[in-house]
Structure 1
């Protein structure tokens, strides 16, 4: 099996796992029950650290295309577009920072930057796409309440959960799955790249 085929199989596997995780949704903020948490960005972030930021974005895209094909759309594709934009806003900056200089520090910095970007993208996606698509027209005060008490904590919790899970999993599977050293604090002397 050549290198490209092997990589394609792994990207397909991560996309399939992301699709499965997309089905497992649960609310975490009782006053805004439509904000549903899922962990489908974890495989995309794993792919980002393993193969590069564009692969992570590709996994986000494949996941959302597959969910439409299999489950359909209840929002005229608006929910899927928003999910893609928010997911890509997390994985792309994280991957760009990490792949400039692979280390524990850049991994954490990249995920932090991704967390900031997911907050911004989450607000934009909800205010300009999701809320109008669902016919939810909020007054300024209600919109501000929704952003402060709904979107900001929701996307913050999501970014933290996805980042922690990715950090833990990547350290365990990076060598066996991606054939690369994790560079997440390894103390081994024989790693080929610099570690923190």
Structure 2
């Protein structure tokens, strides 16, 4: 602690905050973190020395919890949305979202989706662009932006994992993580 020379009536107040963190599990509970502010006031004068002593105490909280199992059923409805026009005029554009429910097993490590674009009324085969959308893990997939069998009324995409996953696992992920294909078709 630093020593400072003061005149008779001047005082110094130092505020020290001790933060004690005791985090650990005790059988069926936990220890709570405790923060205790402590103020020490030292008054300097020519003939008097005052020292304050503070005693710290630790509070321990033990919590016992009981777990209850709850079964929740969630129903998810996905709607395929397509922007349509009666006759596609130049420049012709159409967009849509194809549901994760359309994925099918193609090989032992690949799933496939045929996207229906017939409602766009393309009279020639457009250039298609795709994006994979989902709630998780879709960033680790490859191939979904490679267009196979493009036609004016449909196209196909294939999906693989960047590492090694079986097609049945991919199909489960596609369903659990809602891997929809967002697409765009255009020609001019």
- TM-score surpassing 0.5? no
Normalization by structure 2: what TM-score?
A: 0.27
| Higher strand residue share | 2
Q: Which has the higher helix share?
A: 1
